[in-house]
Structure 1
Amino acid sequence: MRELPDELVLPASMVPSTPTGPPVEPRDAATVVLVRDGDRGIEAFLLRRVAGMAFAGGMTVFPGGGVDPRDADTSVAWSGPAPGWWASKFACSPELAVALVCAAVRETFEESGVLLAGPSAATVVADTTPYAAARAALVARELSFARFLADEGLVLRADLLRPWANWVTPPEEPRRYDTRFFVALLPEGQKADGATTEASDAVWQRPADALADWKAGRRALMPPTWVTLTEVDELGSVGAVLDESREVSKIIPKIVRDGDVLRVVLP
């Protein structure tokens, strides 16, 4: 595991100065690194979370969020690697693997408007605007993702995702997530809009430029985002990212208090 730069610190307020009890059990979550070919090379889709949010407020992140219990619905029409394959990649049960893949696709749709699904196992929708009402209902938890796909006659395209990493929030933090990271190419014809109340702005950006913005103080990055952007930048192209063979293991950082800031130490 690479070392984090000395400049990558977090506000001391993110973690209580004294433990309030045993570590919180992490909640399962999924994050998707959307990539595309830009005019100057590979770009990633980034959201700046609204300042003041309970978790990672003001931070620049990839689309993602917690698993909804309904994401485990096995009635979903599915194309691509079977749940058992995903389970082997993320060292989890096939049941949880279904939920993680569905959460990844659902959260990406909710937060960016990008939908990794199509009318058949070999197609992807090119325009997601007809599903705007369903998107809002998904955000409001008035509709399950499985029900949405069934109502619209859509097949989840698990084959468009690639497993990337597994980050677990340090035990010192009051809100913890066991987050599986995926990568996916923006489907042809679709647009990422970032129309979510959880983000103050959204942008496609070259990883190198996002890292430069962080270094200049224009963006705040969590360690998993910094590491992922660095990895994608080093690979250099969409093809290399999608073809990357990854051995995924849990990464559980430690937090060290250093005066008014927190330093994150990777294993």
Structure 2
Amino acid sequence: MNASADKTAIRDAASVLLIRGTGEDARVLMGQRGSKAAFMPEKFVFPGGAVDATDREVTLARPLAQACIARLAQGHDAPQALAVAAIRELWEETGLMLGCAGAWPDPPADWRGFAEQGLVPDAYGLRYIFRAITPPGRPRRFDARFFLANAEAVIGDLDDFSSACDELSHLHWVSLREARRLNLPFITEVVLAEAQAHIAGEEMADSVPFFDNSTEVSTFRRIA
């Protein structure tokens, strides 16, 4: 397969909605993509990105909840790898770490900085809340899973983004209400609304919304 075909192939991806505070005071961490980015230029998004091959090799300190695993398995053969990718992308793009203290003798190259902090990635607090596939005709296409996480699970200073890569600029905590005034992709607006519903309730929802744009015909269904 040539390089141009690779770019338009649907790739698995994962994003994290990191929530700080509760109720009307709840804020979410967002950043802005660059003006020259091939995918969603200048849009404000949640930290996230494509799943890497090495994400399948990482052992989590604590796994996802079984309900999340079961739902992720409907469309992916390695559910834990999606959680690993979400944690890695959060760390790379913001410098914030979801992990537990532990030894990691031989981490993959792109996880060495994480391991050097004496941490092993921890997926226990992630909640799978949304899935969406990018419509045809876009320069990049992803089968994206969105996870909700409480910022209290982060190790370190929630306002220190000094270790972040340069993929996202203007990293900041914004209230869920004010976030909708930003330059957002449509699907980000939809996911924000879903996040608000989850924050309002304590229990995990009975199903996960799925916007399926894998073909020319867009469909909506729920993953039970």
- Specify the TM-score bucket, using the shorter chain as the normaliser: 0.7 to 0.9
Match of 2:63 in 1: 80
2:107 counterpart of 1:177: no
Asked if the contact 1:193/1:202 (under 8 Å) is kept, the reply is no
| Secondary structure class of the residue paired with 1:160 | coil
Cα 1:47–1:250 change in 2 (3 A) is same
Offset of residue 243 of structure 1? 3.2
Matches within 5 A, 1:211-222: 211=180, 213=181, 219-222=182-185
Which consecutive residues of structure 2, in runs of 5 or more, have no partner in the other structure?
Answer: none
How far apart, CA to CA, are the structure 2 residues paired with 1:144 and 1:196? 13
2:19 counterpart of 1:54: no
Match of 2:109 in 1: 143
Task: Judge which range, 225-234 or 38-47, deviates more.
Answer: 38-47
Match of 1:244 in 2: 204
Match of 1:199 among 142, 163, 168: 168
TM-score scaled to structure 2, two decimals?
A: 0.77
| Secondary structure class of the residue paired with 2:29 | strand
CA RMSD of aligned residues (A): 3.2
Match of 2:12 in 1: 28
Matches within 5 A, 1:99-138: 99-119=81-101
Identical-residue share of aligned pairs (%): 30
Asked if the contact 2:18/2:29 (under 8 Å) is kept, the reply is yes
| Secondary structure class of the residue paired with 1:232 | helix
Match of 1:225 in 2: 188
Asked if the contact 1:77/1:154 (under 8 Å) is kept, the reply is no
Deviations 1:222-262 (Å, cap 9, x if unpaired)? 1221012223335554xx3x633252253124999xxxxxx
Offset of residue 179 of structure 1? 0.6
How far apart, CA to CA, are the structure 2 residues paired with 1:143 and 1:266? 39
Name the larger-Rg structure.
1
TM-score scaled to structure 1, two decimals?
A: 0.66
Offset of residue 182 of structure 1? 0.3
Give 2:54's aligned amino acid: R
